[in-house]
Amino acid sequence: MKFETKEYESKMQKSIASYQENLSTIRAGRANPDVLKKITVDYYGSPTAISAIAEVKVTDARTLTITAWDKSAMKGIEKAILTSDLGIHPQNDGSCIRLAFPPMTEERRKELSKQIAKLGEEAKVAGRNIRRDANDRIKKEKKDSILTEDEAKQGDKLVQDLTDKYIKEIDVVTAAKTKEIMEI
């Protein structure tokens, strides 16, 4: 019998997808609708994503336009953006809300690159935890005589190669986002 890594590879792919999702919500000085993903609006008593009650469009490189389908939700959207950690003041003209993204300061860029590095390290830790789970399973299967010594060693190597591959991928994603943030 051979040790299967598909389950662990799937978990690592999900971990990277989650990391990329987190990175997409970080504001990079350009208008990006993903920065609104974490913001919810109290809409008829239930927390609702802005994209569920309004159309969000990028009108130019530094401006987002939010047009609510229900005009009564405009105040709630504006309030949710103001209370979020987005750091942008919405301009409500009654029919739509505009978010003008100012150019980021050097200090803010450095702060964001540290935040990106921290998220990257958390993603790597998640990958290492998946590796540990796989190695524990290999040890258990070897102890239970399901795997031979050679199969266990081969399984360990496969798991380590898989972990190395995903940690490299995390490094590439982190470097790309950091480069995007540091661009002027």
Q: Which residue range forms the structural domain that includes residue 78?
A: 33-100
How far, in Å, CA of 98 to CA of 89, rounded? 9
Q: Is the pTM of this model over 0.75?
A: no
Write down the pLDDT at residue 27: 66
pLDDT digit string (tens) for 113-158?
898 999 999 999 999 999 999 999 999 988 888 888 888 899 899 9
Judge if 83 and 137 occupy the same domain: no
- Quote the distance between the C-alpha of residue 107 and its chain's center: 22
Judge if 84 and 152 occupy the same domain: no
Q: Which run of H or E residues covers position 102?
A: none
Residue 181 or residue 161, greater confidence: 161
pLDDT digit string (tens) for 77-106?
888 888 887 778 888 888 888 988 777 788
Judge if 113 and 96 occupy the same domain: no
Q: 91 in a domain, yes or no?
A: yes
Of the candidate ranges 10-14, 32-36, 69-73, 159-163, the one whose mean pLDDT is the lowest: 32-36
3 Cβ contact list (under 8 Å, min separation 6): 138, 141, 147, 151, 152, 154, 155, 158, 159
Report the chain's C-alpha Rg in angstroms: 22
Write down the pLDDT at residue 43: 86
